[in-house]
A and B are shown apart, each in its own frame.
Chain A
């Protein structure tokens, strides 16, 4: 089954540094999304990249997708303490194969002031 797996499981950086998280999956996808979850709060959609796209930007976020390697990366530039959260990738099945989105176990990011 398709499965998102984030790497690393945990990441600790200083404020102002860049943070990079990776996601690998196993089967064909239509799109890949990144979500953020703060402690005790719901998930917030960050960015979506479609299978025919290679790179996407949104503010301080940069997402890449390599479908040949079945992997994606999320880069957060100039990190802030408020970026401290868990980050999840979620893969969407190919078109016509339903809406069963698969989330990985997440990367816990700590940004130290």
Chain B
């Protein structure tokens, strides 16, 4: 079990630039989640995939955010025209519908927008 991996671990970008993060879930997991976490707060749900289908998106996910999971394996989260308010830790989690609701989290990508 290699766990959930995320790349890059840290990203510093200038306001207005686009960034893309990658998440590799546990291989047999069909569910994949993206969350955002700011300092001192719990994770906020952004979006959810079952296999390659994006089944749920939070209202927090503005038009500048897009996520894909093209082959039902890895996923990417892209933020266009980054703003300073986008600075946060972006967490990916995966799960298996067979085990219901347990989620296994990756280490996260810390984004800093300057």
B102 touches A33 (CB 8 A): yes
Choose, from A55-63, A75-83, A102-110, the stretch at the interface.
A102-110
Which residues of the partner chain A approach B58 to less than 8 Å between Cβ atoms?
100
State the CA gap A64–B56 with chains docked (Å): 29
Closest to B46 in A: A100
Tell whether A45 is near chain B: CB-to-CB under 8 Å.
Answer: yes
State the CA gap A33–B4 with chains docked (Å): 19
What's the minimum C-beta distance from A10 to chain B, rounded to whole angstroms?
11
Which residues of the partner chain A approach B35 to less than 8 Å between Cβ atoms?
103
State the CA gap A101–B4 with chains docked (Å): 18
What's the minimum C-beta distance from B25 to chain A, rounded to whole angstroms?
13
State the CA gap A100–B33 with chains docked (Å): 9
B101 touches A100 (CB 8 A): no
Q: Point out residues on A near B: beta carbons under 8 Å.
A: 4, 30-31, 33, 35, 41-45, 48, 88, 90, 92, 98-106
Which residues of the partner chain A approach B45 to less than 8 Å between Cβ atoms?
100-103
Which residues of the partner chain B approach A4 to less than 8 Å between Cβ atoms?
42
Contact with A along B1-12 (1 / 0, CB 8 A): 000100000000
A101 touches B105 (CB 8 A): no
Closest to A33 in B: B101
Given contacts A44-B105, A48-B101, A92-B101, contact A98 B55 (CB under 8 A): yes
Closest to A40 in B: B107
State the CA gap A102–B56 with chains docked (Å): 14
Closest to B92 in A: A42
Closest to A100 in B: B45
B101 touches A31 (CB 8 A): yes
What's the minimum C-beta distance from A101 to chain B, rounded to whole angstroms?
6
Most central of B33, B44, B101 by chain A CB within 10 Å: B101
Which residues of the partner chain A approach B93 to less than 8 Å between Cβ atoms?
43
State the CA gap A90–B100 with chains docked (Å): 14
Please list the 5 inter-chain residue pairs (A to B) with the smallest Cβ-Cβ separation, ordered nearest first: A103-B42, A43-B105, A42-B105, A99-B48, A42-B107
